[in-house]
A and B are shown apart, each in its own frame.
Chain A
C-alpha cells in the first residue's frame, strides 16, 4: 500500500491515575506510568515479542499498539494514519477508524473467558463477521468459518461449532479464539500471553500453528510473554526481534542472537538466569539481582529505574537515566544501559556497595 510501516509507535507514554473516588478526596492521587516513552515499528508479516515481569507494562503497550488503549502522549499510526486522530476527527482520516480496529486484533491470555459461555461457538464466531461484513450471506460466513477450522486442525468443523466453550479443552479453546481473530483478515494480531495457560507440551504446537497461519495470512504478530524460552522460539522461527520491558520502558531490543548470545542489559541477563536449562552445569548460580521485588511503580527510582536491583549498578546509575545506546548501524536495536557504551563515564563511576537486599520500599 505505501512505504509506511504497518504500525508505528512514536514516543508513546501511558499513565494511569487513581483518585477522584469519593473516599480519596483528601489523599494525593497516584500516577502509574505503565508505558514510558516507547518507540517501535512493526512491518508486514513481522513478529515482535515483548517480554518482562508481571506489571512491567507489556500488556498496556500491546493494547496501545492495537488502538485499544489511548496513549497519554505520543502517536500510534497504522499505515501512516494516526489511530486516535481517525477516531476523534473522522473527516480528516485517510483510513476510517473502524477499518483500523478490525485490522488490529487481539488474543487474550485466558481463552476461556474470551468466549461467551452461554453461546455455541458458531454464534460467537458469526457475530464479528456479521458486524464487519454485513454483505456476506449466511452461507458465505459459514464457509469462511469452516475453512479456518480445517486450517487450525479442528475437523470436522460442525462437531466443534455446535459446542459450548466449556465442552472444549484449553488448546481447542485457544484455537477457536485464534480463528475468531483471523476471521477478519487482520494485519496485526496481538497475542497477549496467548499460550501461557496451556500445558507445556501444547505450547510448541500452538506456536507452530500460529507461525503456519502467519505464512498463510501474512499477519504480523505482537507476541507478549513472560517466558524467554517461548519468546525465543517464536522469534527465532519467524526471524523476529525480542524487546525486553522493565517498568514501562523497553530496556533492550534486538535480534534473537543479540538477546540470547550477547545481552547488554543486566536485566536481560537476569531473565535468562530465570529460564533455567536442564543441562547447564549450574555454573552461574549467583543470584543476578540485588532485590527480589520490583519497586513501587507509583514512585519510580531515580536515574536508571533498574539500579536498585541491578548487580552492576554504579553511582552514575543512581542519578542519570540511560538513553538508548544503539548496538547496530541501522539504529534499530538498542539497550538502555551505560554498560553498552564502552566510553561511558559509568566505567569510572564508583560501585554501589550498599548491599542490603531486604526490600525496604
Chain B
C-alpha cells in the first residue's frame, strides 16, 4: 500500500488495556492510510476507541495501554519511521517536530502558573531551537489564529477565554513545524460559534502551512465542513471509510447511516428526528461476528457469527458490512436529499495534485 502520497500507514493496530476484570480491547485490528495534505476525520461515539487510535499515531497511548501492530510514518524526505518502535528519546523529538497533537480541554494543557510566553520558549528550548527565530514564528502563528500575539504571550492561561486558549494551543502545537497535526476533540466544551470558527481557521492553517490534519470528534456536522475523508469507528473497529461526499450521500454501513439520521439538522421537521436504539458493547466482552449486529436492523445469522472484513464499495470507499449494498435502502436518512448535488462538495484536497 505504501506510496509517496502516504504520510501515515497504520496496519493491524490493536490497543489493549489489562484490567482486573479481563483484557479491555479498545482498538481492534485497524488498517488505515493517511494521505499527505489531506484532512482525515475520525468519528465515533464516546468510548468507541477513536482517541486511542489517534494517540497511536504518536505512540501516546497512556500506560497501562499497549499498542501493537504497525504505525509507519513517512517524512517528506528521509527513511520511514516505525513509530511504535521508537525509543523514548527518539519519541521526544518525533513528537512536536514531525507529529503534534492537540488534546481536548485546552484548559489543562497550559501550565497555570507560568505565562504563555514561557511555555512557548520552553518548547523551543527543549528541542534545541533558536529562540528569537522561534518566537518570531510564534508571533506569526498567533496572528494566523486571530490572536494579538503580545497580549496572549503576556497572559496566564486563566486570563484567556476558552476559545482563545484553544487557539493559542493550536499555535503552540505548530511551533516546531510538524507535518501532521492530530486534533482530539479540539472544539469540545466551546460554544458552537467558536467551534465553527476554529474549524474555519484550521482549514486556513492547513493551506498556509502545508499540514496533514487528523481530526477526531463525535460531531458529524462540524466534521463534514472540514474533512476530505471520514473514517467511522464503532465499538473499537473501523467500520467505514470514504470521502466526505461518499459518506454523506452513499453511506454503506448501517451504523454510519443511523448516525447520519440521528444527527440534528435544522432543516428536518422535528417529528422526523430519530435516535439509535440499543447501547454500545463493553470493551471486555467479545461480541461474536459483527460488533454492530445486536443493534443492526438488517443483521442475520451470518452477521452474528462471522466478522465482516472491510469491503470495497467503490474506489476508496470501504465498509465493514456484508450487506453494504442493502444498507442504503434498509436505513433511510431523513435529511438526505434524493439526489446527490451534481457539483458535489468542494473539499480541500480536490484540485491538489500530489
Q: Is the CB of B163 within 8 A of A277?
A: no
Q: Is the CB of B147 within 8 A of A276?
A: no
Q: Provide the residues of chain A in CB contact with B192, threshold 8 Å.
A: 226-228, 271, 274-275
Residue in contact with A292 in the complex, picked from B143, B197, B218, CB distance below 8 Å: B197
**Complex interface residues of chain B between 236 and 279 (CB less than 8 A to chain A):** 248, 260, 262-267, 270, 273, 275-276
Q: Is B32 an interface residue (CB 8 A)?
A: no
Q: Provide the residues of chain B in CB contact with A55, threshold 8 Å.
A: 161
Q: Is the CB of A287 within 8 A of B197?
A: yes
Q: Provide the residues of chain B in CB contact with A360, threshold 8 Å.
A: 148
A279-B336, A358-B146 in contact; A228/B266 too (CB < 8 A)? yes
A203-B197 Cα distance, complex, nearest whole Å: 24
Q: Is B33 an interface residue (CB 8 A)?
A: no
Taken residue by residue from 83 to 118, chain A's Cβ proximity to chain B (1 for < 8 Å, 0 otherwise) reads as 000000000000000000000000000000000000
Q: Is the CB of B225 within 8 A of A276?
A: yes
> Which of the segments A17-25, A65-73, A232-240, A331-339 contacts the partner chain?
A232-240
Nearest Cβ distance between residue B173 and chain A, in whole angstroms? 18
Residues of chain A at interface, number, CB under 8 A: 44
**Complex interface residues of chain B between 289 and 321 (CB less than 8 A to chain A):** none
Residue in contact with A274 in the complex, picked from B195, B248, B264, B273, CB distance below 8 Å: B195
**Complex interface residues of chain A between 263 and 294 (CB less than 8 A to chain B):** 270-279, 281-282, 285, 287, 289, 291-294
A201-B276, A276-B225, A359-B146 in contact; A271/B270 too (CB < 8 A)? no
Give the nearest-CB partner of A282 in chain B. Answer: B345
Q: By DSSP majority rule, is chain B's interface helix, strand, loop, or mixed? A: loop
Give the nearest-CB partner of B264 in chain A. Answer: A229
Q: Is the CB of B341 within 8 A of A278?
A: no
Q: Is the CB of A201 within 8 A of B197?
A: no
Nearest Cβ distance between residue A164 and chain B, in whole angstroms? 22
A292-B194 Cα distance, complex, nearest whole Å: 7
Q: Is the CB of A271 within 8 A of B262?
A: no
Q: By DSSP majority rule, is chain A's interface helix, strand, loop, or mixed? A: loop
A274-B143 Cα distance, complex, nearest whole Å: 22
B222, B224, B336, B337 pick with most chain A CB within 10 angstroms: B224
A273-B267 Cα distance, complex, nearest whole Å: 13
Nearest Cβ distance between residue A15 and chain B, in whole angstroms? 20
Q: Is A327 an interface residue (CB 8 A)?
A: no
Q: Is the CB of B46 within 8 A of A357?
A: no
A227-B191 Cα distance, complex, nearest whole Å: 8
Q: Is B162 an interface residue (CB 8 A)?
A: yes
Q: Is the CB of B197 within 8 A of A276?
A: no
Nearest Cβ distance between residue B158 and chain A, in whole angstroms? 15
**Complex interface residues of chain B between 185 and 204 (CB less than 8 A to chain A):** 190-197, 200
Q: Provide the residues of chain B in CB contact with A205, threshold 8 Å.
A: 275
Q: Is B332 an interface residue (CB 8 A)?
A: no
Q: Provide the residues of chain A in CB contact with B224, threshold 8 Å.
A: 276, 278
A279-B162 Cα distance, complex, nearest whole Å: 29
Q: Is A40 an interface residue (CB 8 A)?
A: no
Q: Is A213 an interface residue (CB 8 A)?
A: no
Q: Is the CB of A201 within 8 A of B265?
A: no
A273-B221 Cα distance, complex, nearest whole Å: 11
Q: Is A37 an interface residue (CB 8 A)?
A: no
Nearest Cβ distance between residue B247 and chain A, in whole angstroms? 10
Q: Is A36 an interface residue (CB 8 A)?
A: no
Q: Is B346 an interface residue (CB 8 A)?
A: yes
Nearest Cβ distance between residue A236 and chain B, in whole angstroms? 5
Q: Is A204 an interface residue (CB 8 A)?
A: yes
A294-B46 Cα distance, complex, nearest whole Å: 30
A277-B335, A292-B194 in contact; A287/B200 too (CB < 8 A)? yes
Q: Is the CB of B146 within 8 A of A278?
A: no
Q: Is A200 an interface residue (CB 8 A)?
A: yes
Bin the interface of chain B by size: 35 or more
Q: Is the CB of A276 within 8 A of B196?
A: yes
Q: Is the CB of A53 within 8 A of B270?
A: no
Nearest Cβ distance between residue A133 and chain B, in whole angstroms? 37
Q: Is B164 an interface residue (CB 8 A)?
A: yes
Q: Is the CB of A230 within 8 A of B275?
A: no
Q: Provide the residues of chain B in CB contact with A273, threshold 8 Å.
A: 196
Q: Is the CB of A271 within 8 A of B147?
A: no
Q: Is B220 an interface residue (CB 8 A)?
A: yes
Q: Provide the residues of chain A in CB contact with B345, threshold 8 Å.
A: 281-282
Q: Is the CB of B266 within 8 A of A359?
A: no
Q: Is A345 an interface residue (CB 8 A)?
A: no
Residue in contact with B270 in the complex, picked from A237, A277, A293, CB distance below 8 Å: A237
A279-B335 Cα distance, complex, nearest whole Å: 7
Nearest Cβ distance between residue A44 and chain B, in whole angstroms? 23
Q: Is B45 an interface residue (CB 8 A)?
A: yes
Q: Provide the residues of chain B in CB contact with A281, threshold 8 Å.
A: 341, 343, 345
Q: Is A54 an interface residue (CB 8 A)?
A: yes
Residue in contact with B265 in the complex, picked from A274, A278, A357, A359, CB distance below 8 Å: A278
Q: Is the CB of A233 within 8 A of B270?
A: yes
A272, A278, A287 pick with most chain B CB within 10 angstroms: A278
Nearest Cβ distance between residue B162 and chain A, in whole angstroms? 7
Q: Is the CB of B266 within 8 A of A271?
A: no
Q: Is the CB of A278 within 8 A of B194?
A: no
Q: Is A329 an interface residue (CB 8 A)?
A: no
Q: Provide the residues of chain A in CB contact with B275, threshold 8 Å.
A: 201-202, 204-205
Q: Is the CB of A278 within 8 A of B162?
A: no
Chain A contact residues, CB within 8 Å of chain B: 53-55, 199-205, 226-230, 232-233, 236-237, 260, 270-279, 281-282, 285, 287, 289, 291-294, 357-361
Q: Given A200-B264, A229-B264, output 19 extra A-B contacts at Cβ < 8 Å.
A: A53-B191, A199-B46, A200-B263, A203-B264, A271-B192, A273-B196, A274-B193, A274-B196, A275-B221, A275-B266, A276-B225, A277-B221, A278-B221, A279-B265, A279-B335, A279-B337, A287-B200, A359-B147, A359-B148
28 A–B contacts from the bound complex (CB under 8 Å): A53-B191, A54-B162, A200-B218, A201-B262, A260-B266, A271-B193, A274-B196, A276-B221, A276-B222, A276-B225, A277-B266, A278-B221, A278-B224, A278-B260, A278-B263, A278-B265, A278-B336, A279-B248, A281-B341, A281-B345, A287-B197, A289-B193, A292-B146, A293-B146, A293-B161, A293-B163, A293-B164, A359-B147
